[in-house]
Amino acid sequence: MGGKTPCVVLLALVLAVVAASSLGFASPAYTSQNFEVYDNAGAGVEYAKSVADALESARSRVLQEGASLAPPCSGSRYTVYVEALGGEGGQVRWQYTSDSSGRILSSCVVSISIAPGLSASTLARVALHEMMHVAQASYFRYSSVVASYPWYIEASAEGITGALMGSCGWEPWYFQTSLYSANPYSFSDGAEECYALGAFYHWVVASGYSSVPGALSGSLSGSAVSSDWVNSAYTSFLLSLAKGVSMCGRSFQPSYQKVSLSTSG
């Protein structure tokens, strides 16, 4: 029995060495107070630092708005990868545990990915959008909602980012494509329409309809994909839209259809 323990320890040690060598003994290119940035794209230390700085600012901003953040899954810092994302600016991988009824017991952030080569202004926007996803994970309560990735996950990340920055990302696309005449629930995942629906969340926060934590918990903490909070807020948005809304220094109005009524027969 006495001889068994060292053997187990040795095996664990071997496995640790194998795991470490398969990761190439990767060490972060830059470490800030809350982020460890690994450069998987040859972007350089300078860029890794600007990524960490942008994420620190975004994190402070989200906390300043009173929202909570899901913690890193391991360690005290978020793991960040600078890596090519095939056209996307950033990505967040989250993880959660749920009980047999699908109630989420805990959630955490596995990693945040940021594309290389982003300009300073794009990087600031992407960092805030991704930190919104980090915040979202702390408001998830039912796995069925998260698993179906409803339209309001990307819409809230995009639109709240726009409202906090006072500038638009995808929001104008909502008006250009007359999305107000579509059912938002017909879109999900990373469809372009979900980002354009950010116009709704931009209005929610910019108009004072709701705070950032109010919008996140209202949207994400429910047990059903069709959220009562979202439906009620979206109706208010449409009513307000009929009078015209302004966002990011522009004013938007829906287009109207002329309908003629005449008595017949």
Q: How far is the CB of 177 from Zn ion (least distance, A)?
A: 19
**In 3D, which of 79, 219, 233, 101 has the Cα closest to residue 149?**
219
- Closest to Zn ion by CB, 30 or 35: 35
Characterize the bridge pairing of strands 78-82 and 90-98: unpaired
Nearer to Zn ion, 113 or 210 (CB): 113
CB of 87: closest distance to Zn ion in angstroms?
Answer: 13
The minimum distance between CB 197 and Zn ion, in angstroms, equals 12
Nearer to Zn ion among residue 46 and residue 192 (C-beta): 192
**Largest Cα–Cα distance in the chain?**
101
Minimum gap (Å) between residue 131 Cβ and Zn ion:
11
User: Using an 8 Å Cβ cutoff, are 79 and 110 in contact?
Assistant: yes
The number of beta carbons lying within 10 Å of the beta carbon of residue 230 is 25
Closest contact distance (angstroms) between CB of 150 and Zn ion is 13
Residues in the chain: 265
Instruction: Give every CB contact of residue 149 below 8 A, 6+ residues apart in sequence.
Output: 188, 189
Residues that bind Zn ion (CB under 5 A): 154, 157
Q: Using CA atoms, how far apart are residues 178 and 194, in angstroms rounded to an integer?
A: 13
Q: Considering beta carbons, is residue 29 or 220 the nearer one to Zn ion? A: 220
Q: In whole angstroms, what is the distance from residue 80 CA to residue 95 CA?
A: 15
